[in-house]
Amino acid sequence: MPAWAGLPDGWAVGETGLVPGGATRSDTRMGQHKPRSRIQRQNRETILEAALAVFSQHGFRGATLDMIAAQAGLSKPNLLYYFPSKEAIHVSLLSQLMDTWLAPLRALNPDGDPIAELRAYMRRKLELSRDYPRESRLFANEIIQGAPRIEHALATDLKALVDEKSAVIRGWSAAGRIADVDPHHLIFSIWALTQHYADFDVQIRAVLGANRDPLTEAEGFLDRLFTRLLAP
Amino acid sequence: MPAWAGLPDGWAVGETGLVPGGATRSDTRMGQHKPRSRIQRQNRETILEAALAVFSQHGFRGATLDMIAAQAGLSKPNLLYYFPSKEAIHVSLLSQLMDTWLAPLRALNPDGDPIAELRAYMRRKLELSRDYPRESRLFANEIIQGAPRIEHALATDLKALVDEKSAVIRGWSAAGRIADVDPHHLIFSIWALTQHYADFDVQIRAVLGANRDPLTEAEGFLDRLFTRLLAP
DNA sequence: ATTGTTTTTGACCAAATGGTCAATCGGACG
DNA sequence: CGTCCGATTGACCATTTGGTCAAAAACAAT
């Protein structure tokens, strides 16, 4: 199963999945690509799971269809029976990822307690780093290389969401309920600090040495950090 | 010229540069690979500069010798006259980079004012993100993919340096001159927050929209953040 | 000019890689 | 049992790519 199964999700968005067999779906309603057979869903999931492992570790170009096929336990032509191309697999992963990735920010409740809400947001993002490091690295790889495949989503969906939540945070500042910090950079700092523990995992473990638990320690550290930063 | 020319550097370390021509250096002292002709130094620099641009944008496997050759204005066989392989170019870049990258931490002065020292460290790292984003991304690419080529340096050189400076910071905490925070995670937070502005540049600009200057804003934000975090 | 050395490159090569295709397999159903 | 259709794959292909090599330029020293 895909790693993000059972998350505060919402599917939606892109999903560039062309149905195998080539034939156009007889379904008239647009965007209704679901009716795949049991075995099809199964294999698509297997492939995406394998592709996640390979893409996140080697990047798009570093990954080969053979690697993904081997990891999935399928033949290469069989991969291409379920996905039209290597890029389609990649895009499919990215579009699923976006939702999972933004869910924690979506959940920021304007009516909750400001500091509690922001700390909860940070903690949820840290949980993603702990539980879904491969997804984090897949995303990081894409952004570092200039986000060729998701730049548009960043400038539209992501920007809209961040702007919306920034307004909320600005309101909290104005009301004196949290310190007066730039909301955008506050959000960036949450991203940076939490994702760092997934993306730079090797480095962190190399520096800390074995028998220390980076993610657990991070929780305490970051909690203190944001508490101090946000105190009015 | 390489982008990091004129930095608080120190060369040293690896430098896996085999001298073209195949002949062994007559120099008896080990590690003395320098005596290259003017044109050789020139072309090696041109190649490394081009390779930095290409590797940092496409990752190791995403980069091709043809891209690098084109960027450098040289023929592909000519590249391989100056470097034995694609990997040698990459390693050469990484080993130079390590020094530049760690210089700011090395400069942390145990006898200075704790908060001023740590803020200065943060600011120097942020300057690296502003002035050498390609180097930052090259490094990030390598770490994300498991640091296959520099894991050893991380576990030895880097760990040693961080441990050393951590002891200093712990001393400051114990003396009540800064708040009691875990030194390792404090350093990680500086890395995360500053490098994020280089590595995730596209995302940040997409979210902030044009006509905002991320790096300048970041300086103020981060200064406030660390001031609040470290206040005893 | 002549000779010797360093640089440069066009032509090639073998391996890797994304993708195609015709043929085969397998199971559901009549 | 036989038919049909989705699933699977071995063989194959064109292109890309890291790397080689022998020959040609450049250049230096006499």
Least confident among A139-153, A189-203, A209-223, B15-29: B15-29
Minimal CA–CA distance to B100: which of B205, B3, B221?
Answer: B3
Question: Does residue B43 lie within 7 Å of nucleic acid chain C, judged by its CB?
Answer: yes
Does the pLDDT at position A20 exceed 70?
no
Straight-line distance from CA A11 to C1' C28, in Å?
32
- pTM across the whole model: 0.88
**Chain A contact set for B206 (CB, 8 A):** 147, 151, 154-155, 158-159
Which residues of chain B register pLDDT less than 70?
Answer: 1-36
DSSP-assigned letters across all residues of chain B: --TTTTSS----S----PPTTSPPP---STT------HHHHHHHHHHHHHHHHHHHHHHHHH--HHHHHHHHTS-HHHHHHHSSSHHHHHHHHHHHHHHHHHHHHHT--TTS-HHHHHHHHHHHHHHHHHH-HHHHHHHHHHHHTT-TTTHHHIIIIIHHHHHHHHHHHHHHHHTTSS----HHHHHHHHHHHHHHHHHTHHHHHHHH-SS--HHHHHHHHHHHHHHHHH--
Selected residue of B207, B217, B223 to mutate for chain A interface (largest A Cβ count, 10 A): B207
Q: Are A61 and B57 a contacting pair at CB < 8 A? A: no
Q: Which bases of chain D come closer than 7 Å to a protein CB?
A: 6-11, 16-22
Decide which of A39 and A5 is more confident: A39
Residue B43 burial (CB count, 10 A):
19
Instruction: Work out the minimum CA distance from A34 to partner chain B, whole angstroms.
Output: 31
Q: What pLDDT digit, counting tens, does each position of A75-126 carry?
A: 999 999 999 999 999 999 999 999 999 999 999 999 999 999 999 999 999 9
* pLDDT tens figures, B68-108: 999 999 999 999 999 999 999 999 999 999 999 999 999 99
Does the C-beta of A54 come within 7 A of strand C?
no
Identify all chain B residues contacting A98, using CB atoms and an 8 Å cutoff. none
Any atom of strand C under 7 A from CB of B76?
yes
The per-residue pLDDT for B35 is 52
Chain B residue numbers touching A186 (CB-CB < 8 A): 221
Instruction: With a cut of 90, say whether residue A62 has pLDDT above it.
Output: yes
Q: Beta carbon of B20 within 7 Å of strand D?
A: no
> What pLDDT score does B103 carry?
97
